[in-house]
Chains A and B, each alone.
Chain A
């Protein structure tokens, strides 16, 4: 039987995650519960769904998106920059968008991630809860720290940020071969089975392209080179 823990606040959640070696945060549950999940079935779940981490608000020229905000809420919000909304719609199923969260999608760091390229290109900031309390970090910094046990609290995006996202997949529900975003000179690429890179327009060149179900390495390399 699975162990499920119910922290009363964000700090307690972080502490539990540090105390319990084999544990993950439970947000929307679409990864943890799905067939073929990357999360082993014997890990302890730290249920953060009751924590006050939902919602989208405006704050001094920025849009603050709570980490438990669902992709559908993001896609439907007129506060959120359009290219971020478009990225949320890359998850083609309404039922999944109603459950999946921005925090969960970011935390998984999947190479066919719906949101990560858009958030990196947007130079999103993040508020995270660490054992030492709240911290403001750049999304890129958090993204790079893959073993980070901090709890994502919110994502911060400039309200007037302009950008564009593209996703190339065989079908809307299929894994994307390449997902990419550009925003005000910053580019980000997620390439299935290969990696995620961001920076200038040629950032994709640093990705070690590999074959997988979505296509050959050379195909994906070509796509990344022409997608924008």
Chain B
């Protein structure tokens, strides 16, 4: 049907089926800022429009209902290409990051300010109550509104969204906005879905209803007859090429334990068949006609079930080692089941698949038993974390096509070069035949480090020659995606009455689910990112990771550290309580400081021997001091209501900045003919501002205005190799590569200028804005220099190349403090205050850094108190919507929420910078658990910490 409506002030005719979701029609008609994050759940707000002067979810409106309606989409906020003052303020405040629904947030605030020019915090909260923000938290949205009010009153925004660092620098350490901020907040066509042309084939995946079963037969004969079906890929016609989906540097510390579609399904939702069709109706009809013969096997879901004697084996294929094979491997493989895929280790991870063990490790320093013997008190408790999901607003998505005989993939990925390598391997083609374009990423948080859809789309395109588009449903995001590994962490800790910790033992048992993605490295982080924060002589850890039949696990911001911190800081709090010591005093007595030699690292090398290094720059003590002051540590708060008890807690935290010795980044900086600059960075900006870092360091080194620098990144054809955006590597590795490339270009500019000016190189320098100057007073613009260099008799275009690898660590530290109120009658809980203080070295983009701290802390508050993937007795995930899974929204944000950066300059980071966002996932769980214990006297040792668990621990029922 056709309906007549007004959209953004213009009369428009919309066409479609009467009951079609209005969102889909609007997007199809070119209003592409109106997106979809929840498949019509009515939750995330990416589909928000103003409909007859009310904010509404367009997914919940049928096309026919828009007849005669007045509609405003975020496109209405633009005046030509000019953004409005609210969008400007959002960029300035730092909230425009991955930005999948930033245009909708801007629309909500525009609407609010039209109705109420002077809104209160509660008014803003109400306006954003239907918008799910995962990346930047909500705190700086209040600031953005204040900035708008300021501009409307004074004509400009004078207030700063963040403090500035490094007075001697022009851009680095200054809140300057984000290079792609305007494009993102405008709703430009920047995401994968925006690149899909009409008549592209779709893919639909038939998934396993069983958690564990052999697939004996897949009959696709009837399905192939459905008109519009192009091809169907199954375990019986796909390449028998082992690989794994974790996007880690080669050789990976994860086993190759799968092929594209396996003959054994290992979780509910595992791939059984991929249908490529001209439209979704045909694909779904074909799926219904596929006959699958399963041979179910008993599943195992928990670590305890997996380790039980005689437990069903999740993997029982042949084990292969590419290096370091044990002598008895042939004997070991005699009982392998030929129906199963091989499990290939690139090097030993100390797995034993006959016991469902995917990987294991252990190590330590000192004498644990001696340490416990010296202690005045010992605690020995076990902490359990749950399976939680990254929930990026943009689900996993991929569009592929063939161009010029090459496979081109538009991806939402953190690891474009690993995508290229793995897809090339699956398709049995060389890497030069694959072009991966990292589009803007609508939220990654680790889950897009794994190649979860690109493998299948890439193969389907290469096989069929057809353009193919696939996008996970929100439900698939839960049961066929990467999640946090559930872990059971036992911590035994001993200490003296003066607060000295004498020994720490960690026993980490991790659940990797059906495949071994990150099966060693994520659980390793539970120890490798926690033990090195303690200046304790006796420490030891054991780690075993088990295969099970839960939905897949993988990378999630923070990796294994949030789980390790929950356990180790909770144990420290329990020990302090037992000893009658203030836990803050205990922390201050036992933390590392700059120069302390980290012997513990020797045993924490993630499958290889670790390197012992001293602690580098370290703002940990400053963070603890500042945080304790802001939270009012030591002052007991009273609510005035006997049912509401208030408590405080904290956690000291650390992470890393990439993986020294493993990560590798490259960049080029090209001087264009007009003297402006193009940075080609291998780094994958996933919304965090990495491109802005590349822009700033190039502008800083070359003394150029920011506007003279553009950045292209993550395009495998244009840019050089980078291991990717994970393990907090972006700023340190990719940023340093851009810095080195800019420095290289600077050298070449000076060299070229010396030839053009007839001056010695040592007599030349550069000055703002883009000039070479000599001691003798000559000035040469980059414009002239570059034109002459590229003239018919020139010496060639100037291109700087930078590579960054390092053995050096740049470790970020911090301390998070929480104040909670708990209703001891009903179990209701409110985070009243949350203080996050971090040492990020020099924060290159301070406003973005602060927002990432807020966003990460909110995620962490989410997995601590609310979020939980629940499986039924058959392993089927029953929490496949945002509501059921329970992500935190603006109402869950702490009443007082403060992120601060301590000023520390790092020795190795670009301009002294370290990483920022992952570490901020580590503090909330232990800080909140400690605060709850302070308020109620009970420790809850499992995620999520619900009211029910608190009440039960208190013996209320």
Contact across chains for B19 and A2 when beta carbons are under 8 A apart: yes
Q: Whose C-beta in chain B lies nearest to the C-beta of A167?
A: B828
Is B870 engaged at the interface, CB distance under 8 Å to the other chain? yes
Check B187 for interface membership: any CB of A closer than 8 A.
no
A29 in contact with B45 given A35-B38, A35-B40, A96-B130 (CB within 8 Å): no
A172 at the interface (CB under 8 A from B): yes
How many angstroms between the C-alpha atoms of A31 and B294 in the bound complex? 36
A20 located at the interface, meaning its Cβ lies under 8 Å from any Cβ of chain B in the complex: no
A1, B62: Cα distance in complex, Å: 12
* B957 adjacent to A222 (CB under 8 Å): yes
Q: How far is the CB of B21 from chain A (nearest CB, A)?
A: 7
Partner of A173, one of B21, B39, B57, B883: B883
Query: Quick one: which of A59-110 are within 8 Å of B by CB?
Result: 72, 92-96, 98-99
Query: Which residues of chain B are near A72, meaning CB under 8 Å?
Result: 54
Shortest Cβ distance from A44 into chain B, in angstroms? 11
A28 to chain B minimum Cβ distance, whole angstroms, is: 8
Cβ A222 vs Cβ B951 within 8 A: yes
Q: Does any Cβ of B come within 8 Å of A171's Cβ?
A: yes
Of A134-142, A146-154, A213-221, the stretch lying at the interface with chain B is A213-221
Of A1, A49, A213, the most chain B CB neighbours within 10 A belong to A213
Contact B826 A170 (CB under 8 A): no
Name the residue on A nearest B51 (C-beta).
A98
- How far is B884's CA from A168's CA once the two chains are assembled, in angstroms? 15
Residue B888, interface by CB 8 Å: yes
Q: Mark B554-582, 1 if CB is under 8 A from A, else 0.
A: 00000000000000000000000000000
A223 contact set on B, CB distance < 8 A = 826-827
Instruction: State A93–B65 Cα separation when bound (angstroms).
Output: 21
Given contacts A174-B883, A213-B878, contact A93 B826 (CB under 8 A): no
Q: Which of A145-177 contact B (CB under 8 A)?
A: 168, 170-175
Task: Tell me which residues across on chain A come within 8 A of B56, comparing CB atoms.
Answer: 95, 98-99
Q: Is B592 an interface residue (CB 8 A)?
A: no
The answer, yes or no, to whether A4 is at the interface (CB within 8 Å) is yes
Are A35 and B55 also in contact (CB < 8 A) when A173-B891, A216-B948 are? Answer: no
Asked if B881 is at the interface (CB within 8 A of a chain A CB), the reply is: yes
How far is the CB of A68 from the nearest CB of chain B, in Å? 13
Q: Which among B40, B127, B827 has the greatest number of chain A C-beta atoms within 10 A?
A: B827
Chain A residues near B826: list those with CB within 8 A.
168, 223, 226-227
Give CA–CA (A45, B41) in the complex, Å. Answer: 19
Q: How far is the CB of B641 from chain A (nearest CB, A)?
A: 14
**B:877-925 near A, CB below 8 Å:** 878-879, 881-884, 886-889, 891-892
Counting contact residues on chain B (CB < 8 A from A), the size range is 35 or more
Smallest CB-CB separation from A221: which chain B residue? B957
Among A33, A98, A227, contact of B54 (Cβ-Cβ < 8 Å)? A98
Cα–Cα, bound, A65→B276 (Å): 52
Q: From residue A227, how far is it (CB to closest CB) to chain B in Å? A: 7
* B956 proximity list for chain A (CB < 8 A): 222
Measured between beta carbons, the chain A residues less than 8 angstroms from B40 are 33-35
* List of A residues within 8 angstroms of B65 by Cβ: 29, 49
State the CA gap A223–B825 with chains docked (Å). Answer: 8
Q: How far is the CA of A45 from the CA of B18 in the complex (A)?
A: 12
Q: Are A171 and B888 in contact (CB under 8 A)?
A: yes
B790 interface residue per 8 A CB criterion: no
Pairwise interchain contact A96-B57, C-beta atoms closer than 8 A: yes
* CB neighbours of B946 from chain A (8 A): 170, 215
Q: Which of chain A's residues have a CB closer than 8 A to the CB of B130?
A: 93-96
Given A92-B891, A94-B129, A174-B866, CB of A1 within 8 Å of CB of B18: yes
Tell me the nearest residue of chain A to B643, going by C-beta: A226
Tell me if B411 is interfacial: C-beta within 8 Å of chain A: no
Q: Is A36 an interface residue (CB 8 A)?
A: yes
User: Would you call A1 and B17 a contact (CB within 8 A)?
Assistant: yes
A95 engages B57 (CB within 8 Å): yes
Chain A, residue nearest B18 (CB)? A4
A30 at the B interface (CB under 8 A): yes
CA distance A76 to B125 in the complex (A): 15
Q: B126 at interface (Cβ–Cβ under 8 A)? A: yes
Q: Are A36 and B881 in contact (CB under 8 A)?
A: yes
CB distance from B483 to the nearest CB of A (A): 17
- Please judge, given known A-B contacts A29-B60, A99-B57, A174-B883, whether A94 and B957 are in contact too, CB under 8 Å: no
The count of A-to-B residue pairs whose CB atoms sit within 8 angstroms is: 124
Is B196 interfacial (CB-CB < 8 Å)? Answer: no
The 8 A CB mask of B64-95 against A (1 = contact, 0 = none) is 11000000000000000000000000000000
Q: What B residues does A94 contact at CB under 8 A?
A: 55, 108, 126-127, 129-130
Q: Is the Cβ of A168 less than 8 Å from the Cβ of B947?
A: yes
Nearest-neighbor residue (CB-CB) of A73 within chain B = B54
Complex Cα spacing A72 to B886, Å: 23
When the two chains form their complex, are residues B825 and A219 in contact, meaning their CB atoms are under 8 A apart?
A: no
Q: Is the CB of A171 within 8 A of B129?
A: no
Interface core residue of B40, B55, B108 (most chain A CB under 10 Å): B55
Q: CA of A168 to CA of B823 in the docked complex: distance in angstroms?
A: 11
Q: A99 near B17 (CB under 8 angstroms)?
A: no
Q: How far is the CB of B145 from chain A (nearest CB, A)?
A: 15
Residue contact A170 to B60, C-beta cutoff 8 Å: no
B42 beta carbon closer than 8 Å to chain A: yes
**Docked pose: A104 CA to B957 CA in angstroms:** 36
Q: Are B41 and A36 in contact (CB under 8 A)?
A: yes
Given known pairs A4-B19, A33-B21, A98-B55, the reply for A171 and B42 (CB within 8 Å) is no
Judge whether A93 and B18 touch: CB under 8 Å.
no
B541 within 8 A of A: no
Q: Name B47's closest neighbour in chain A (CB-CB).
A: A95
Q: Is B43 an interface residue (CB 8 A)?
A: yes
Assembled-state Cα–Cα distance A45/B892 (Å):
36
* Chain B contacts for A35, CB-based, 8 A: 38-42, 474, 881
A126–chain B nearest beta-carbon distance, Å: 25
- Which residues of B sit under 8 angstroms from A93, Cβ to Cβ? 42-43, 45, 129-130
Instruction: Determine whether the beta carbon of B891 is less than 8 Å from that of A172.
Output: yes
Counting CB contacts under 8 A, is B59 at the interface? Answer: yes
CA distance A96 to B38 in the complex (A): 14
B82 smallest CB distance to A (angstroms): 27
Chain A residues with CB under 8 Å of B61's CB are 29, 33, 99
Interface digits, A203-218 against B, CB 8 Å rule (1 contact, 0 not)? 0000000000101101
Residues of B within 8 A of A170 (CB): 865-866, 886, 944, 946-947
Please indicate which of the listed interface residues A49, A96, A218 has the most CB atoms of chain B within 10 Å of its own CB.
Answer: A96
Asked whether, in the complex, the Cβ of A30 is within 8 Å of the Cβ of B42, the reply is yes
A76: min CB distance to chain B, Å: 10
Looking at the complex, which one of A34, A172, A175, A213 makes contact with B889 (CB distance below 8 Å)?
A172
Residue interface bits B853-891, CB-to-A below 8 A is 1, else 0: 000000000000110001000000011011110111101
A72 to B716, CA, bound (A): 50
Would you give the shortest CB distance from B275 to chain A, in whole angstroms? Answer: 21
Whether the pair B43, A33 counts as a contact (CB closer than 8 A) is no
Which residues of A184-215 are within 8 A (CB) of B? 213, 215
Which residues of the other chain, B, contact A4 by a CB distance below 8 angstroms?
18-19, 62, 64
Residues from chain B with a CB closer than 8 A to the CB of A92 are: 129, 889, 891
User: For A2, what are the chain B residues with a Cβ–Cβ distance below 8 Å?
Assistant: 18-19
Contact of B886 among A174, A222, A226 (CB under 8 A): A174
Please give, as numbers and ranges, the residues of chain A lying within 8 Å of B126 by CB-CB distance: 94
Min CB distance B15 to A, Å, is: 14
A residues within 8 Å of B by Cβ? 1-2, 4, 29-30, 33-36, 45, 49, 72, 92-96, 98-99, 168, 170-175, 213, 215-216, 218-219, 221-223, 226-227
- Show 23 residue pairs from A and B whose CB-CB distance is below 8 angstroms, ordered by the A residue: A2-B18, A4-B18, A35-B39, A35-B881, A36-B41, A92-B129, A93-B42, A94-B129, A98-B56, A170-B865, A171-B866, A171-B886, A171-B887, A173-B43, A173-B883, A175-B884, A213-B870, A215-B948, A216-B948, A223-B826, A223-B827, A226-B825, A226-B826
Rank and list the top 9 A-B pairs by shortest CB-CB distance, nearest first: A93-B130, A95-B130, A172-B891, A2-B19, A222-B957, A33-B60, A35-B41, A219-B948, A98-B54
Q: A95-B42, A95-B48, A227-B826 are in contact. List 20 more A-B contacts (CB 8 A).
A: A33-B21, A35-B39, A35-B881, A72-B54, A92-B129, A93-B45, A93-B129, A95-B57, A96-B57, A96-B130, A99-B57, A170-B886, A170-B944, A171-B888, A173-B43, A213-B878, A213-B884, A215-B948, A219-B952, A223-B826
